[in-house]
Structure 1
Amino acid sequence: MKIAIVGLGPTGLYTFSELVHADTPMDITIYDEGEWAGAGTPYSRQGASRLMLANIASIEIPVLNGVSYLDWLKSCPPRILSDFGIEQEDLNERLFTPRLLIGCYYHDQLLTLQQQAEQRGYVVRLNEKTTIVDIAEKAGRLRIERSDGGVDEGFDRVIVATGHDFGEDKASSSYYPNPWCGLLSADVPAARIGIMGTSLSAIDACLAVVAQHGEFVEGDQGELTYRTDEQDLKVSFMSRNGILPEADFYCPIPYVSTTIMTECSLMACTSKPNVLDAIFDLFAKEITLADPAYAARVNLTDLDADSFPEAYFAERMGGDAFAYARKNLAEVERNKAAKRTIEWRYAILRMHEQVEKLVPFFPDSDLSRFERGLKRVFSDNYAAVPATSIRRLLALREANILDVVTLDDDYELIRSQTTTTIRSGEDSHVFNVFIDARGQKALRTEDFKFPSLRKILVEDDQDIPEVDDRFALISPSSLRKRVYLAALPYLMHDRPFVQGIVSSAEIGAKVAQDIVSNLDGVQIEDGREVALQEDVIAA
């Protein structure tokens, strides 16, 4: 079996790990655009710095190659950890670490996996700093075309795991279409900086800028301040709701199963005339059971899938974003010290992945309502950020560096060669440097970077690439179970919460297991693969 993995961030790496631990040696060729395969853009030296924290605790990072992230950290020399601001005594399962350190873990595991695979009889070719420009069929197999003009042929399976894709919009000295397009290496002036978004990506973009012009200093009592001599440095976060993310809250890990929202009760919703409303009924009952005081406080019995989001965000929408952030941070730190869980928040956290499974069953009207309402609630809840990130934002606010701007729904963005202007209502905001940190958008077939594969899918009337539950292309039949689409941006339509390391591990396991399970059922004949099981059915 000859396999190509195109893109080796976390998804490609977890896939590779599963394949390496199969019983049958394979021929695996890996292609990655970066110089540090395994890490993926957000965890690479090009996309992350020591200041940028991941919003996933050590215990939540899926084990790779039998080595947990925490065990790997404990094996690191103290001087390495110290470089990242971590001491050996700080290590614990709830520790939030710099994304760059997670990238080190992934790259290290890749090199170990490659060595183990070769010792077990695998052929592994690792091609870093390699861009793939096309994937095509040839004589019943698949071929890979590289940007250097080279061509690799004869692949039985191709796994597309290309990760983040922000299109062809190019960065300039005054405009960055995403935080990972050279911002870290750029010389950003101390000027008016506009950052679209308020998520962890926006915080990272902010840190990339302010780190060039000052430093965070921790006092004797643990208070954090930001010091700079630059009077012209001003940073504005912008969003339609004008709020900041909450600090990550304490809760049991692994998650405790929900009581009312079960797989059986959720599937029963699909037979109801109003799927979303039936799901919200379970959602409300689960919250009421978990935290009756909260349910009473927001009058949950009077709310529905459309009105609950307003109640959820109410306290944060009306006032000062930084005042709420300061209050929320104090609450989170008290609860972590006491190991106390805010039960209604924990209930929402445990329900988002369950609800995601029913998104494909939503009629268009329900999908639109979900995206305007409950999806925003779930996204805000699970995207809580490390407490240290909030402390840094508050330090920047105290230094008169940072503010938050609330935009109208119909705001206008106007770019020139040297500035970006945001017009919202009667207000205009002009920025010398603008960074779009709104995150990854769901992509369609027309966005596919591989023209031959794109042409086949377009001719098959696939506006969005269609994959099965193992992420193999469903059609056309010539590509079925031969091309696997594990690139997260193309999976977000039916899986709105698919982003993140945990999703990468789950997708990688399913892809690899599907390939391995079909090894015994495939024969090669005259350059064409024939699935024995399908032959039996056809006969």
Structure 2
Amino acid sequence: MFEVVIVGSGPTSLYTIAALLDRPAGLSITVLEREEMSGTGMPFRPEETDSVLLANIASIEVPPICESLLDWITGLPDAVLSHLGISEDDLHERHFFPRILLGAYLRSQLGRLADLAEERGHRLHIYNSAPVVDVARVAGGYTVTALKEGELLSFSARSVVLATGHVWPEDDPEHGYYGSPWPSVKLHAIPATDIGILGSSLSGIDAALSIACAHGRFEEGGSRYVPGPEAEGLHITLMSRKGLLPEADFWCDLPYLPLEYATPERIEALQQRPEGYDTEDLFDLLREEITANDPEYAAAIDLPSLTLEHFADAYFAPRMGKDQFALAAANLEEVERNVNKRTTVPWRYAILRMHETLAPLLPGMSGHERQRFKTYLAPVFIDNYAAVPPQTIRRLLALARTGSLSVVSVEDDCEVLPPTGKEPTRLREEGGERRFDYFVDSRGQSTLPASALPFPTLLEQLQADPEAPLPVSPSFGLSGPDDTWRGLYCAGLPFVMHLFPFAQGITVSHEFGEVLAKGVDSDRRAHDELTDQAVA
């Protein structure tokens, strides 16, 4: 059989396995998971996630594995759904379900995949509590070493997929500092005091809601927050460079309707252009698409005359310097009205579709042009697709009405000064310092250098610049200095973000899985050809 080892068992691994099982029989797939429970991934584990935290995409947007999320949830006992606050009216494809429920779905699908593998003539072996400590290239493939119950286990493979997920900074809870908001349940230990959260997107909001749940409860469908007896003194400050809250997820046609200007033909023409393409080319496509879809909005922000460098400023201007909770309430009302009417906001829908259309072009751009894209266009796309479930906005507003929440902007070059024992965490700006008894850094995952790869032998063999990103190809291939390697893939988010700045969530895991399975399939065909030649 053709041996494949997958490191990690989160969503990317599951979608990779599902795609591999569609291939001809004869694959032996070994999954090595460091945690006790496989098949969930960090944000979805029941012991690590609050039930009020919702998946950031609706049920219809979760790519099915063996069955759809909604079909699986519909088959759950009523008592389970009631415990999670899910009513019969919520059982529809546009509902945002709790993350812990999505995690349970993923775990169930891994079990289904194990059965499916046997039916289709493959083998699927899953090892829990088996952290991988090293990977090495050897003659004929790779050796993967894992630690299981104190014993080192060695696995041989022709193809290896590294899908290790997020890597977060260390916490210092004794002194009130948390380097990330994950797992969210750790934030329950934070007392009702002055708390700073750096980041006002979904991760920051989820951190605020987790802390709020430790000191009170949400009632009336999330529209009312009731502080507990020890909640006096609780105040949470959400901070970001623009001081903006994300908007509520808006209704739109799913699957996406085709774009009018950024057609597959035009995208392919850009990719085939001998002189290449740059960020200006992508902005021109975006401008055409927005103008065609919503000429009124284009005129309102003077889009025809905007340069690339000024587009983001015009996009954010209507929300800057305003009462964020008043804007959130008005936006929530608009979203609920549009949901009832099944209508969308054309310019928002155009930007949403454009980000997925343009994303595949980024790996083909130079490092300089990717940086320009990150500076001038990415903030708009991120703000648009990072819209949060309406129920999350409803809870946020309920918390704000108690006076326990505020949103402020901070300077671009602000500096976080971790606690020293004598001093609490401070956020230093040119105009002074902000001090917090407790501090949570919720700015999200950052790109890690090659030196962060936790497999010493492989890192030495790669001979990569330790301070630069890993030399990952757009199809996730990793290659050593002689460029003859094949069969090694890295889809760990911290190591590919420089190529895929929009990479996040279940839909991206599905896309990654399809690409990874194609790579493994290509390895297998090449191996079979060599075997046939040797026999002949």
Q: How does the TM-score come out when normalised to structure 2?
A: 0.92
Instruction: Decide whether the 8 Å contact of 2:177 with 2:419 is kept in 1.
Output: no
1:153 is the counterpart of 2:158? no
Deviation digits for residues 414-464 of structure 1, max 9, x if unmatched?
122552111223242211211111111122312211111111222589933
Farther-moved stretch of structure 1 (296-305 vs 144-153):
144-153
Q: Determine helix, strand or coil for the equivalent of 2:64.
A: coil
1:162-181 correspondence runs (5 A): 162-167=164-169, 169-173=170-174, 174-181=176-183
Q: Distance in 2 between matches of 1:292 and 1:78?
A: 48
1:234 is the counterpart of 2:235? yes
Of 335, 347, 360, the residue aligned with 2:350 is 347
Distance 1:477 1:109, change over 3 A: farther
1:314 is the counterpart of 2:317? yes
Equivalent position of 2:291 in the other structure: 288
Deviation at 1:120, TM superposition (A): 4.4
Equivalent pairs, count: 525
Q: Distance in 2 between matches of 1:521 and 1:416?
A: 55
Distance 1:48 1:132, change over 3 A: same
Q: Distance in 2 between matches of 1:457 and 1:142?
A: 13
Distance 1:303 1:110, change over 3 A: same
Equivalent position of 2:123 in the other structure: 123
1:380 is the counterpart of 2:344? no
Q: Distance in 1 between matches of 2:33 and 2:511?
A: 20
Q: Determine helix, strand or coil for the equivalent of 2:317.
A: helix
Instruction: Decide whether the 8 Å contact of 1:33 with 1:129 is kept in 2.
Output: yes
Distance 1:72 1:363, change over 3 A: same
Deviation at 1:64, TM superposition (A): 0.2
Distance 1:305 1:92, change over 3 A: same
Deviation at 1:126, TM superposition (A): 1.4
Deviation digits for residues 379-438 of structure 1, max 9, x if unmatched?
000010001111111111110111112111221211225521112232422112111111
1:135-534 correspondence runs (5 A): 135-147=135-147, 148-167=150-169, 169-173=170-174, 174-181=176-183, 183-184=185-186, 186-218=188-220, 223-229=223-229, 230-269=231-270, 271=273, 275-417=278-420, 419-459=424-464, 463-476=468-481, 480-523=485-528, 530=530
Q: Determine helix, strand or coil for the equivalent of 2:197.
A: strand
Equivalent position of 2:65 in the other structure: 64
Q: Distance in 2 between matches of 1:437 and 1:322?
A: 20
Equivalent position of 1:527 in the other structure: none
Taking only the aligned residue pairs, the percentage that are identical comes to 39
Instruction: Decide whether the 8 Å contact of 2:451 with 2:466 is kept in 1.
Output: no
Instruction: Decide whether the 8 Å contact of 1:46 with 1:182 is kept in 2.
Output: no
Q: Distance in 2 between matches of 1:15 and 1:361?
A: 24
Q: Which runs of 5+ in 1 are unaligned?
A: 525-529
Equivalent position of 2:78 in the other structure: 78
Deviation at 1:70, TM superposition (A): 0.9
Equivalent position of 2:52 in the other structure: 51
Deviation at 1:119, TM superposition (A): 4.7
Instruction: Decide whether the 8 Å contact of 1:176 with 1:183 is kept in 2.
Output: no
Distance 1:156 1:369, change over 3 A: closer
Letter in 1 for 2:132: I
Which portions of structure 1, spanning 4 or more consecutive aligned residues, are displaced by more than 6 angstroms? Answer: none
Q: Which has the higher helix share?
A: 2
Q: Determine helix, strand or coil for the equivalent of 1:76.
A: coil
Q: Which runs of 5+ in 2 are unaligned?
A: none
Instruction: Decide whether the 8 Å contact of 1:35 with 1:128 is kept in 2.
Output: yes
Letter in 1 for 2:152: G
Q: Distance in 2 between matches of 1:513 and 1:183?
A: 37
Distance 1:260 1:72, change over 3 A: same
Q: Determine helix, strand or coil for the equivalent of 1:144.
A: strand
Q: Distance in 1 between matches of 2:531 and 2:80?
A: 50
Q: Determine helix, strand or coil for the equivalent of 1:82.
A: helix
Distance 1:523 1:341, change over 3 A: closer
Letter in 2 for 1:62: P
Q: Distance in 1 between matches of 2:142 and 2:227?
A: 56
Q: Determine helix, strand or coil for the equivalent of 2:29.
A: strand
Letter in 1 for 2:200: T
Deviation at 1:469, TM superposition (A): 4.5
Q: Determine helix, strand or coil for the equivalent of 1:522.
A: helix
Q: Distance in 1 between matches of 2:120 and 2:132?
A: 28
Q: Distance in 1 between matches of 2:362 and 2:96?
A: 31
Q: Determine helix, strand or coil for the equivalent of 1:357.
A: helix
Q: Determine helix, strand or coil for the equivalent of 1:400.
A: coil
Deviation digits for residues 194-253 of structure 1, max 9, x if unmatched?
11101111111112211111011117xx84334333211111111111000000011000
Distance 1:181 1:101, change over 3 A: closer
Equivalent position of 2:105 in the other structure: 105
Q: How does the TM-score come out when normalised to structure 1?
A: 0.91
Deviation at 1:149, TM superposition (A): 4.4
Distance 1:520 1:298, change over 3 A: closer
